Amino acid sequence: MVTEKQTISFIGCGSMGSALLRGLLDSCASPNPEVPKPDEFHFIACTKTSRSAGMLSESLGEDASRVKITHGEPVKAAEAGGIVILGFKPYMAAGVFDTPGFLDALEGKLVVSMLAGLTVEELNQLASSNGVGMKSKRCIHFTRALPTVACRYRQSMTVLEIPDNLPDQETHVLKSIFSRVGKLRILPPDLMNVGSMLVTACLATISVPLDGLLDGAVAEGLKRSEARYLVVQGLQGLVSVLENGEQTALMREAISSPRGGTIQSLITVEKAGTRGTFAEAVINGSRQFSKPR
């Protein structure tokens, strides 16, 4: 039975994996009082190359001593972990699963996939094609979690795919892990791609118009640092409005005065077809996740 005392092994620890690792390390040092207090985790991070391992160690700084960092040894890392997090590129899945002994090392364990576009069913099929199910009565408990890089600051919105047959204890541990680095939402398999794309768009895609706002403010005389400060607080204000259930259309109407600057700015972005562009961005990104790897 998986417990929160066990070691978490990261197989692949790039941008997303290292962000999650940093968030979890911070959560162990300063637990969130709103999250059920678990025992401290132990961590292993296995990268593909020695260069990547060195970069990870450097990025962790003083926290590197709290993580066993290895490279090129995914089987040993998986064997040592009670919980295994898959953090490599999705197209690498078949190659990693083909590594002799790797799937054997996953048997009976909670395995959390952060591989975009690969469902739990597809992961099970990939594992079965390598004969694991035929050689052992135990199975690999695959789940799927798609956080954002904001988990580094414990502000991720993570979407989870949890199979119906996942034991309650493992479901509890999975939720506990990602509750430590932000908020979570459980989605059915067919909505995971659009859910993941939406939370990603809130960071990557929305950052494009934010840069435009900053550029406009600089052109009108504000220093960029000052404009950035104003925008950050403005976004926090928008979040509070949304969290209190206010509708965005009604909010825009309420703050748009006759002959005012706000209504002129809204007309400008609507003339550019901005709404449709962002809708198309989410649709295209979601469909890209569904394409064969």
Q: Is 16 annotated as a binding residue?
A: yes
The predicted-structure confidence for 1-25, as pLDDT tens digits, reads as follows: 555 458 999 999 999 999 999 999 9
In a domain, 96, yes or no: yes
Instruction: Give me the CATH number covering residue 46.
Output: 3.40.50.720
What are the distances in angstroms from CA 56 to CA 63, 115, 257, 286?
Answer: 11, 20, 51, 30
Tell me what pLDDT residue 65 has. Answer: 86
Do residue 173 and residue 212 come from a single domain? no
Do residue 226 and residue 276 come from a single domain? yes
In a domain, 194, yes or no: no
The predicted-structure confidence for 85-113, as pLDDT tens digits, reads as follows: 999 999 999 999 999 999 999 999 999 99
3-state secondary structure of 186: strand
Do residue 143 and residue 281 come from a single domain? no
In a domain, 69, yes or no: yes
In a domain, 125, yes or no: yes
Q: Is 117 annotated as a binding residue?
A: no
Give the range of the structural domain holding residue 243, as residue numbers without chain letter. Answer: 201-289
Q: Is 283 annotated as a binding residue?
A: no
Q: Is 11 annotated as a binding residue?
A: yes
Is 267's pLDDT higher than 50? yes
In a domain, 271, yes or no: yes
In a domain, 196, yes or no: no
The predicted-structure confidence for 148-203, as pLDDT tens digits, reads as follows: 999 999 999 999 999 999 999 999 999 999 999 999 999 999 999 999 999 988 88
Do residue 27 and residue 145 come from a single domain? yes
Report the predicted TM-score, pTM, of the whole model to 2 decimal places: 0.86
Tell me what pLDDT residue 118 has. Answer: 92
Do residue 33 and residue 175 come from a single domain? yes
Residue 172 CB contacts under 8 Å (≥ 6 apart), including other chains: none
Instruction: Give me the CATH number covering residue 280.
Output: 1.10.3730.10
Q: Give me 94's structure tokens.
A: 């078949």
Q: Is 13 annotated as a binding residue?
A: yes
Tell me what pLDDT residue 63 has. Answer: 86
Q: Is 12 annotated as a binding residue?
A: yes
Q: How confident is the model at residue 36 (pLDDT cuts 50, 70, 90)?
A: very low
In a domain, 277, yes or no: yes
